[in-house]
Structure 1
């Protein structure tokens, strides 16, 4: 008879193996995460600088262009094509001097038509005024005749009055003479009142006609002055610039054809990165180098409107001496944003492009460890160190493009 052999329980063995494998895997994962990511680099590939205390001057450097202090535009009042050119670009001109002449046949014909119409209206108004004067003259003639009739009636009345008192004429005849005088007297009074009212009305009409004529004459003068606008003259005295007309070239009304520099000095105009908008203000001082001299400049105007990532600032030369400059020259301007003070600084380098100033590699022997830092102000040479570094520590300031995800560098070839 066969003996039954009991079957071993394999579940416990499998569980033990699984737990062991999990622990090994957990240890490996822990070691992989706890181990610093290290990269081997050569010393000659790195640029190392020490953190130091130095006098920090908060300043920026930018390019500025020379422009005249006061410029007046030469604008085209009446559009047309260039017919004549009287001066050249760069010439010194005086106020009112002819610069060029334009022509526009359509506009000139329109002016002529308008001028003819205005003159015709003035003539019609003058004719109306003459008719009113003639009406007054005719009324005055009528009044003379009426006064003559009245005087005759008055003379006959006075003469017959004496005869009536002597009973030479009858009462009936006397009443006839008296009625005739009364009629002529009433007629004269009525005509005089009518003439008086007519004259008042005529005076109002003539006054209105005269005002209309004055308005039309002013319009005629303006029209004739506009015809003179085809002749472009200098609006002020100075040096003519940006004046490049070509015979036959057409300019529109309001278009600028040149500029006049009044020769009252120069200013600098610069486009500055918007990053410095809150730092640049009126009154800040700067320096430019010109012919071996250092010239002081002063910010006189800041235009805060940002276009293309830049805003515009204007600077004036502090020196009162006459500086022989030319429009269009370009200067490198050093603008001081704050006074010098001694602080902990770090020389600028390419590392900041990858770190944004938040961390850096600090060297110690043949190793370099990643460390969090905080930087503050900057100028073209230095960063201000606020936290994370000490004076005398050495740091790598060259590019971190190849090891920005590394935590430790192993440096060889020192």
Structure 2
């Protein structure tokens, strides 16, 4: 008799085979998702520093040069070529001392033409003034003659009046005498009034002419003074610097050929990174080391113009002590940006070049793991830690250039 054999369920077999495969794939995916990229580095090739809780002083160190407290630019007033040089760069000069002479034939010819024209105008005004005075003189002469005629007519009038009353003179002759006296009298009055008005008008004209002449004389004086501008003189006493004129070289009007430093006090001029523009203000204190002694300085002026990523700050010495300074000396100025305060800090290093201060590698035994952090202010020694680190943490502060995509460093 035949034996009945039961058929195996293929679906169950496939299911049993699929489960291990599924679990294996899931494990691989989980491992890939949770695996941290690692790199083995030599411990001697890195720098490890410890996070501290200490007093943090927000300051920067900038290089500053000594410059005189006050200086004046030496500008060419009249353009021309250098003809003579009377002083040298670095000389002490006194106010009014000749320094150089320029030559410009076209300008000098123009000056001569203007001078001739002004003198001619002054002479013409003198002639006009003389004509007015001659006119007054002629009128005075006329008035003398008219007054003489008036006196003759008056004398005749007085005589004929007596004769007429004595009936010696005819009525016709008396009327002629009266008419002539009346004419001479009115004539004299009219001429006197006319002469008075003419004199008043002439005085006004002469006054105006005098004002015009005074203006022209002043212009002539200025013009002649401008001719002296070819001679460059020291506007004040001090040390002549940046003075390097070249014989024959042409300079434009207003162009600077040097500077005079008033040797009465000094200041420091520093070039500061534009990053600190909003944090450097007038009145901030700083210190410089001068011959082993700390000297206090103070920001006197901030010039916000940015050039090549830097701005200029001027600092004055607070100390009243006489310092043996020289122009051009360079100092490292420690400029305080805020008062000391206790906080968590991490020593500075090259790690921020790649991380931007957003993460660090924290050492734990033989490994170092990447950790997100937030850094705040900085000074030449420390970064202020706002979050992510605590005192005692050990941090790699050397460059992270080779660890950009690494999560864990194996230290050996």
TM-score by length of 1: 0.92
> Is the counterpart of residue 331 in structure 1 residue 310 in structure 2?
no
CA drift of 1:101 comes to 1.4
Alignment of 1:13-412 (within 5 A): 24-412=24-412
Query: What is the CA–CA distance in structure 2 between the aligned matches of 1:312 and 1:392, rounded to whole Å?
Result: 40
Query: What is the CA–CA distance in structure 1 between the aligned matches of 2:158 and 2:17, rounded to whole Å?
Result: 166
Query: What is the CA–CA distance in structure 2 between the aligned matches of 1:13 and 1:224, rounded to whole Å?
Result: 121
Query: What is the CA–CA distance in structure 1 between the aligned matches of 2:307 and 2:13, rounded to whole Å?
Result: 75
Query: What is the CA–CA distance in structure 1 between the aligned matches of 2:326 and 2:249, rounded to whole Å?
Result: 28
Query: What is the CA–CA distance in structure 1 between the aligned matches of 2:14 and 2:107, rounded to whole Å?
Result: 106
CA drift of 1:326 comes to 2.0
The CA deviation string for residues 19-55 of structure 1, in whole angstroms up to 9 with x for no partner, is 9867654542332111121212221122112222223
CA drift of 1:269 comes to 0.7
SS in 1 for 2:313: strand
Uncovered stretches (5+) of structure 1, i.e. residues with no partner: 1-8
Query: What is the CA–CA distance in structure 1 between the aligned matches of 2:131 and 2:22, rounded to whole Å?
Result: 125
Query: What is the CA–CA distance in structure 1 between the aligned matches of 2:401 and 2:24, rounded to whole Å?
Result: 36
TM-score by length of 2: 0.92
324-333 or 124-133: which moved more?
324-333
71-80 or 285-294: which moved more?
285-294
Uncovered stretches (5+) of structure 2, i.e. residues with no partner: 1-8
SS in 2 for 1:198: helix
Change (3 A) 1:376 1:161: same
Query: What is the CA–CA distance in structure 1 between the aligned matches of 2:286 and 2:112, rounded to whole Å?
Result: 59
The CA deviation string for residues 199-232 of structure 1, in whole angstroms up to 9 with x for no partner, is 2222222122111111111111110110111111
Query: What is the CA–CA distance in structure 1 between the aligned matches of 2:15 and 2:185, rounded to whole Å?
Result: 151
CA drift of 1:289 comes to 2.1
CA drift of 1:291 comes to 2.8
The CA deviation string for residues 45-97 of structure 1, in whole angstroms up to 9 with x for no partner, is 22112222223222111111111100011111111111222222212222112
SS in 2 for 1:70: strand
SS in 2 for 1:239: strand
Query: What is the CA–CA distance in structure 1 between the aligned matches of 2:124 and 2:263, rounded to whole Å?
Result: 53
The CA deviation string for residues 288-323 of structure 1, in whole angstroms up to 9 with x for no partner, is 223333222111112223332212111111222222
CA drift of 1:16 comes to 9.7
CA drift of 1:121 comes to 0.7
Query: What is the CA–CA distance in structure 1 between the aligned matches of 2:364 and 2:20, rounded to whole Å?
Result: 40
Query: What is the CA–CA distance in structure 2 between the aligned matches of 1:42 and 1:85, rounded to whole Å?
Result: 68
Count of residue correspondences: 405
Query: What is the CA–CA distance in structure 2 between the aligned matches of 1:18 and 1:104, rounded to whole Å?
Result: 104
Change (3 A) 1:346 1:156: same
113-122 or 128-137: which moved more?
128-137
The CA deviation string for residues 145-168 of structure 1, in whole angstroms up to 9 with x for no partner, is 111111111111111111111111
Aligned CA-pair RMSD: 2.3
Change (3 A) 1:155 1:405: same
Change (3 A) 1:345 1:155: same
SS in 2 for 1:83: strand
SS in 2 for 1:69: strand
Query: What is the CA–CA distance in structure 2 between the aligned matches of 1:127 and 1:26, rounded to whole Å?
Result: 120
Tell me the equivalent position of 1:4: none
Tell me the equivalent position of 1:6: none
The CA deviation string for residues 260-313 of structure 1, in whole angstroms up to 9 with x for no partner, is 111111111111111112222222222222333322211111222333221211
Query: What is the CA–CA distance in structure 2 between the aligned matches of 1:94 and 1:126, rounded to whole Å?
Result: 43
Change (3 A) 1:14 1:208: farther
Query: What is the CA–CA distance in structure 2 between the aligned matches of 1:266 and 1:141, rounded to whole Å?
Result: 77
